[in-house]
Amino acid sequence: MNHDVIITCAVTGAGDTTGRSNLVPITPRQVADAAIEAANAGAAVCHIHVRDPETGQGSRDIELFQETLGYIRESGTDMVINLTAGMGGDWVPSDENPALPGPGTDMIGPEERMAHVVACKPDICSLDCGTMNFAGDYAYINTAPYLRTMAEIAREHSVKPELEVFDLGQIRLARKLIEDGLIDAPPMFQLCLGIPWGAGADTETMTAMKQALPPEAMWAGFGISSMQMPMVAQAVLLGGNVRVGLEDNIYLDRGVLASNGMLVERAVEIIERLGARVLSPDEARTKIGLA
């Protein structure tokens, strides 16, 4: 069991959730306010995407990231900043010619995927460690050479990679990056569970993935939708840290829409009822290896 738990809050994501909840933040000010709310509720780390203010869709716009982080930093709120580096890997095959991209494709190279990270200098950025069939009728593509380049860029700019893994094969790829000296110790993993068509959000799967990690790894885990809070408890019991937030789940209880702060407060309650404590941002920095 983990008695000293880091909470990450993933405050908005890039999924099609804005039409289902008016509490999902869209504009840079809303995303920043959501991160501040989560930090005040007990999250040490905030995982941040940005959205197009006009459409609500996920965006890679560097200026939107800069504006969002500007609001956070101006507020003086203490939190560890974790920026996504997962945008730009969506491939939808064309119906006419599967060798060509169809509508909905957003595919760019590794340097462009990291451009906002270089510009914003967060503490952490995510690295999605592989390719998979992702949710709808498209593939998310992240090749090993892409990941090597992205890891090198992160190291060059003193940003710690969070190795997001969606199945056991992706852990194997992440371990190869570590073995090749591209990831500084201690490696930081996020076990991403319940996303179609990745690993399931259940005890057996989280246990198997945890056992496949390098012995020195620090890790967290999350489940999506109704499995968010059960996976909070499961991760703590297995020795990990946790992630909650509106990127992964929009409900506090059945039919009750949540804010990010509400989800963090619920996670704090679960953690403390298990006999553990929630770490502050400074304590999290030390544990992650940022301090």
Q: What is the pLDDT of residues 199-212, one digit of tens each?
A: 999 999 999 999 99
Q: What is the pLDDT of residues 153-171, one digit of tens each?
A: 999 999 999 999 999 999 9
Nearest to 84 by CA among 35, 133, 38: 35
Structure tokens, 61? 């716009």
Give the model's pLDDT for residue 137. Answer: 80
Q: What is the pLDDT of residues 196-245, one digit of tens each?
A: 999 999 999 999 999 999 999 999 999 999 999 999 999 999 999 999 99
The mean pLDDT of 124-152, rounded to a whole number, is 92
Q: Per CATH, is 4-288 categorized as 3.40.30.10? A: no
Q: Is 169 exposed, middle or buried (0-12, 13-18, 19+ CB in 10 A)?
A: middle
Q: What is the pLDDT of residues 183-195, one digit of tens each?
A: 999 999 999 999 9
Give the model's pLDDT for residue 291. Answer: 67
Q: How far apart are CA 269 and CA 265, in angstroms?
A: 6
Q: How far apart are CA 165 and CA 178, in angstroms?
A: 14
Q: How far apart are CA 133 and CA 85, in angstroms?
A: 18
Give the model's pLDDT for residue 135. Answer: 72
Confidence of residue 69 (pLDDT cuts 50, 70, 90): very high
- What lies within 8 Å, CB to CB, of 280 at 6+ separation is 44, 78
Structure tokens, 71? 């609001």
b/e 73-99 (16+ beta carbons within 10 angstroms → b): eeeebebbbbbbbbbbbbbbeeeeeee
Q: For the chain, which residues make up each domain, given as ranges?
A: 4-288
Sheet strands side by side (includes 106-107): 106-107, 89-91, 139-140, 132-133
pLDDT at 6 over 80: yes
> Around Cβ 176, how many Cβ atoms within 10 Å?
15
Give percent above pLDDT 90 in the chain. 95
